[in-house]
A and B are shown apart, each in its own frame.
Chain A
Amino acid sequence: MRDYIIRRVLHAVPTLFAISVFAFIVIQLPPGDFLTTYVANLSASGQVVDEAEVAALREQYGLNQPIYVQYYKWITNFLRGDMGQSFYWNRPVNTLVGERILTTMLISILTLIVTYGLAIPMGILSATRQHTWIDYILTVFGFIGLATPNFLLALILLWIGIQHLGLGGGGLFSPEFLDAPWSLARFWDFLKHVWLPVLIIGTSGIAEIMRVMRATTLDELGKPYVETARSKGLAEGKLVRKYPVRVALNPILSTIGWQLPVIISGSVIVASVLGLPTTGPLLWSALTTQDMFLAASILMILSVLTVVGTLLSDILLAWIDPRIRYSGQEV
């Protein structure tokens, strides 16, 4: 078991390294660099640009050096905690990301909890009440949840919210809490606002997990050990929860870590649409303005979160499944 963990962690390191190289290269791919876009924007708005000044800026930011040198500088700084400077915002990436990373994490984790918290009971309900109207409604919801792109859902719900509910039009905090330090009251205010984005981001996840839970539970319900439990005289509700659900939960929970990247990924667009202060919109604008360090750093951070999430989930799986725990093998 311990060997397994060590092995997985060791695997993660080269992967992250490879990702950093890849991220850096991808960000650099578009021809030109931040300054090219900057100059183009300036020219488009009619301002005159001094060539010498541009060259000086280029020198200053080190944009004229070969790519591997730039990468080396970036990665060594990154590992020391300095993620470089954002050209667009003219502030250190650390500060920009730091402001938003907490919110991003909070939203992602909340979405994860809500997703599984809703999907699992709904899946069980759907399976045990197969072919009843509950099952049909949940199945329909499942289909629609899967089919609707979440950013559209965001738009629609936002529109409904503005038109009919008088919601503030997005944003995560009421005005008085916007820049305040974290406190219980602020957290509560946050929760009041965040339930909508969380639901939107989680919709497709809820739909998918619910369907899988339903299918696996149905599978397990027909197995012999369920009949044995029944023959012992257990009440139906209790035996469903103790036996087939417990077995069906294994594959679902084992992939919990894999849901996290999906959530992080999905939240990027929704956050962009709703204007939430998370890393998503930051990445979007960084990519469109070729704000190199910012974009690469965010991509890197999101990947780290992904890798860590999946690592944790693999370890979790190894821990809860007795078949793996006692045989010491990797499934």
Chain B
Amino acid sequence: MDYLVEVKDLHTYFYVVEGEARAVDGASFAIRRGQVLGVVGESGCGKSVTARSILNMVRPPGKIVAGEIIYHRTPEESINLAALPPMGREMRAIRGGEIAMIFQEPRASLSPVHSIGDQVTENILLHQQVSRAEAERRGLEMLRQVGLPKPEQIMRSYPHQLSGGMCQRVMIAMALSCHPRLLIADEPTTALDVTTEAQILELMQALQADYGMSIMFITHNLGVVAEMADEVVVMYLGRVVEKGTVIDIFDNPKHPYTRALLESLPRIEQAKEWLATIPGIVPDPYKVHPGCPFFARCSERMPGVCDTIAPPPVDLGDGHEVRCLLYGGAEEAISPEAIRTSAGD
């Protein structure tokens, strides 16, 4: 298995006035070299915090409390990113140089008082020992590659003079300028209109093929996942509830949450009166209940079982894994969750 990044049992918590918020509560998955991993889930399920944890960019009052993030720079060289000091030299060299990130609101993610050229060349200068002139040349080339017209002019422009789509292209250029092995894209097209979205996705696919890099694509849009991803991870309340290839997830979803998500997609060929929704809302992150996180809203819940035992991962073969007691795992007696949370409630 040629994994690029392995996330193992990651726990990232936030300590605020209201209490301890478990943004990521035991997530494990892996990203293969050269592949696109789609991460889906509702707002608040922890996808963004997971991304930032990988880059060790979680700010106080949040911190990574447990788990490992193994980055296999080469098949021989590995390093645990979670153990590195977040603002240390090593981590900072990796950030932007080997693992880069693009964000949701492209316009707001660029500094309003610095020129595009300044911001793009900054990344190159940070990670590559080149002269300023050379960095500018490379930056210009990147802008050209992401399909921006008149790149020289763009270099001198400011973010407020560009459209949202153009800003996102700039962000992509910036992120890829040092040819990272992994690109983390946190809902990059959510703030864009559908036409622009299609163009950006197309661009990302082309670049991914060209550079052979991996992409971790975070989104709540299942359609985009179907289009872009090779493998999919479904998250709920800080945990991975199901993961597998994109075919498996879409054609053969096992977890009730995955199924409910897919069913809530409006489909033209099925004439239904009412759109399907998942009843209830995402629960309070400060109250951790023993058992499965989806218990309260699950249509197939088993009272007495699902609310006491936290489902362990069940391997369904071919990399398809699910955490649901419907498929086994109930034999794992008392879960550590139950002890921990009933004491801390």
Task: Please report A residues at the B interface, Cβ cutoff 8 Å.
Answer: 223-225, 227-236, 242-243, 246-247, 250, 321-323, 326
Contacts of A233 in B (CB 8 A): 91-97, 126-127
Q: List 15 A-B contacts (CB under 8 A).
A: A223-B108, A225-B109, A227-B57, A228-B109, A231-B55, A232-B122, A232-B123, A233-B92, A233-B97, A243-B114, A247-B111, A247-B113, A323-B112, A323-B158, A323-B160
Are B112 and A247 interface neighbours, CB within 8 A?
Answer: yes
Chain B 86-128 against A: per-residue CB contact (8 Å), 1 yes, 0 no? 0100011111110011011100111111100000001100110
Question: Nearest chain-A residue to B91 (Cβ)?
Answer: A233
Are A232 and B111 interface neighbours, CB within 8 A?
Answer: no
Known: A227-B103, A323-B160, A326-B158. A232 touches B108 (CB 8 A): no
Contacts of B55 in A (CB 8 A): 231
Known: A227-B57, A231-B57, A326-B161. A236 touches B112 (CB 8 A): no
Contacts of B127 in A (CB 8 A): 233
Are A231 and B110 interface neighbours, CB within 8 A?
Answer: no
Question: Nearest chain-A residue to B99 (Cβ)?
Answer: A231
Contacts of B112 in A (CB 8 A): 225, 247, 322-323
Q: Give B154 Cβ to nearest chain A Cβ, in Å.
A: 14
Interface centre among A223, A232, A235, A243 (most CB of B within 10 A): A232
Chain B 154-174 against A: per-residue CB contact (8 Å), 1 yes, 0 no? 000010110000000001001
Are B92 and A234 interface neighbours, CB within 8 A?
Answer: yes
Report Cα–Cα, A49/B171, bound state, in Å. Answer: 86
Are A225 and B110 interface neighbours, CB within 8 A?
Answer: yes
Q: A228-B111, A233-B93 are known contacts; what are 6 more A-B pairs with Cβ within 8 Å?
A: A224-B105, A232-B95, A232-B100, A233-B95, A250-B113, A326-B161
Which of B96, B108, B158, B161 makes the CB contact (< 8 A) with A231? B96
Nearest 5 A-B pairs (CB), nearest first? A233-B96, A232-B96, A233-B95, A233-B92, A224-B109
Q: Give B160 Cβ to nearest chain A Cβ, in Å.
A: 6
Are B126 and A232 interface neighbours, CB within 8 A?
Answer: yes
Are B171 and A228 interface neighbours, CB within 8 A?
Answer: yes
Are A229 and B111 interface neighbours, CB within 8 A?
Answer: yes
Are B111 and A231 interface neighbours, CB within 8 A?
Answer: no
Question: Nearest chain-B residue to A246 (Cβ)?
Answer: B113
Q: Give B298 Cβ to nearest chain A Cβ, in Å.
A: 34
Q: Give A221 Cβ to nearest chain B Cβ, in Å.
A: 9
Are A243 and B94 interface neighbours, CB within 8 A?
Answer: no
Contacts of A321 in B (CB 8 A): 113
Q: Give A226 Cβ to nearest chain B Cβ, in Å.
A: 9
Report Cα–Cα, A321/B158, bound state, in Å. Answer: 11
Q: Give A325 Cβ to nearest chain B Cβ, in Å.
A: 9
Are A243 and B111 interface neighbours, CB within 8 A?
Answer: yes
Report Cα–Cα, A246/B160, bound state, in Å. Answer: 16
Report Cα–Cα, A150/B92, bound state, in Å. Answer: 47
Are B123 and A224 interface neighbours, CB within 8 A?
Answer: no
Contacts of A250 in B (CB 8 A): 113
Contacts of A227 in B (CB 8 A): 57, 103, 109
Q: Give B202 Cβ to nearest chain A Cβ, in Å.
A: 23
Report Cα–Cα, A233/B88, bound state, in Å. Answer: 10
Contacts of A323 in B (CB 8 A): 112, 158, 160
Report Cα–Cα, A225/B104, bound state, in Å. Answer: 11
Q: Give B222 Cβ to nearest chain A Cβ, in Å.
A: 25
